[in-house]
Amino acid sequence: MTPFPEDPAMTYPTVRLRPKAEARAIRHGFPWVYADELVTDRRTQALAPGALAVLEDAERRSLGLVTVNTGSKIIARMLDRDPDAVIDETWFAVRLTRALALRERLFDRPFYRLVHAEADGLPGIVIDRFGAAAVIQPNAAWAEQHLPALAAALAEVTGVSVIVKNGTGRSRGLEGLAEETLVLRGALDGPVTVEMNGACYMADLTGGQKTGLFYDQRPNHAFAARLARGARVLDVFSHVGGFALAALAGGAASALAVDASAPALALAERGAEAGGMADRFQTRQGDAFATLEALGAEGAQFDLVICDPPAFAPSKPALEAGLRAYERIARLAAPLVSPGGFLGLCSCSHAADLAAFRNASARGIGRGGRRGQLIHTGFAGPDHPILPQLAESGYLKALFFRLDG
């Protein structure tokens, strides 16, 4: 079965919302249909994962063209309000051109998130650009099936010569997709150097976490760098140097990067060397919680402590445990902050909204024996736009506190 008509004159199959499903939300821009909202008769169940279909409301009025995966909780994703749209290289090129225009207005150099999934009209697709290279994360079944057309359009629109498919992560598992990372076009001879906020980062596009670098923290790195002038900095869950290298570029006296990954810390050290900061930079490999406890036992003190963990609450069932983990991080980190120093706490959990994360962080700081002012709340950069109808597209939160004595 082909996932879409090869001939535009062919018709798509139709799928229909249940009578009590909220068609108004779809009409007003919500991009998803959940499994309990769609009529899943035998014909719908027979659609291959990633198949295209026309979505109708209960009165059989067309809502647009969707991609269907009956094995996913998100059973349908809106692709185009035109039910006759043809999903081909030209269709991808239109959306990529629009996404590129925004990033070229925002940034002087081609290092950014080019496509932020639903917010850029390409549900389940993330593309990060690293100069002449780009990394695609096809996190939905339809994206996997249309990857050749997407890659061709990406090369045509941006001129990139290297395209990597990063097929890893929780989202692919939810779509029933296997993990796979490979170079689709061109060749790589090592990590890519990315200059950002005055620091040099080394991004491993084939073996690193996610796409190799976290562009979403760029504005929060910059804010932390302002706090770091002359400071002793601790960067926990540092990855390839994250906040630590930005802080050093901002004039920090020293920075200690903590991460469980030895390869990530090795890339951080290479970045420090490339930026002429190696004499002020140290790393410490280990579990973050255990390392925070050990530093506390050692009586270590820092003027700026930042914790940027992975998503502790990636889904609603994980929310309670995730909030406890965020509280524990704050409790362990707060005593390490010198009087009048700063504590930065981050969350990339979809399920933990800003209020819940802020409350967990404040509880942890209090349990750590400290009090403080919340001086700044940060989010992802503008190359990670938010679809207003989809709260999940605005996942990143960063809280900066000034702690008392």
Integer Cα distance of 55 and 176 in angstroms: 22
Q: What is the CATH number of domain 201-403?
A: 3.40.50.150
> Which residue in 30, 21, 8, 14 sits closest to 390, CA to CA?
30
pLDDT tens digits, residue range 331-350? 999 999 999 999 999 999 98
What percent of the chain shows pLDDT beyond 90? 92
Q: Which class for 33: exposed (0-12), middle (13-18), buried (19 or more C-beta within 10 A)?
A: buried
Integer Cα distance of 324 and 71 in angstroms: 31
Give the bridge partners for 372, in sequence order.
403
Rounded to 5°, the CA angle 65-50-86 comes to 40
Residue 348 among the catalytic residues: yes
Q: Where in the chain is CATH 3.30.750.80?
A: 89-185
Q: Where in the chain is CATH 2.30.130.10?
A: 14-80
Q: Which of 200, 307, 346, 348 is flagged as catalytic? A: 348
pLDDT tens digits, residue range 193-220? 999 999 999 999 998 888 999 999 999 9
- C-alpha to C-alpha distances, 346 to 205, 238, 251, 284, 325, nearest whole angstrom: 24, 12, 22, 20, 12
| The dihedral sign for the CA sequence 114, 120, 125, 126 | positive
Q: Which residue shows structure tokens 């140097």?
A: 241
> Which residue in 94, 146, 99, 144 sits closest to 118, CA to CA?
99
Q: What is the CATH number of domain 14-80?
A: 2.30.130.10
User: Residue 10: its pLDDT value, please?
Assistant: 57
Integer Cα distance of 36 and 11 in angstroms: 26
Q: Where in the chain is CATH 3.40.50.150?
A: 201-403
Under the banding of pLDDT at 50, 70 and 90, the label for residue 2 is very low
Answer yes or no: are the C-beta atoms of 322 and 351 closer than 8 Å. yes
What percent of the chain shows pLDDT beyond 70? 97
| The dihedral sign for the CA sequence 216, 217, 219, 220 | positive
pTM of the model: 0.94
Half-sphere exposure of 97 (CA within 13 A, CB side): 9
Q: Which class for 305: exposed (0-12), middle (13-18), buried (19 or more C-beta within 10 A)?
A: buried
User: Residue 312: its pLDDT value, please?
Assistant: 96
pLDDT tens digits, residue range 94-127? 999 999 999 999 999 999 999 999 999 999 999 9
- Architecture, CATH, for domain 89-185: 2-Layer Sandwich (3.30)
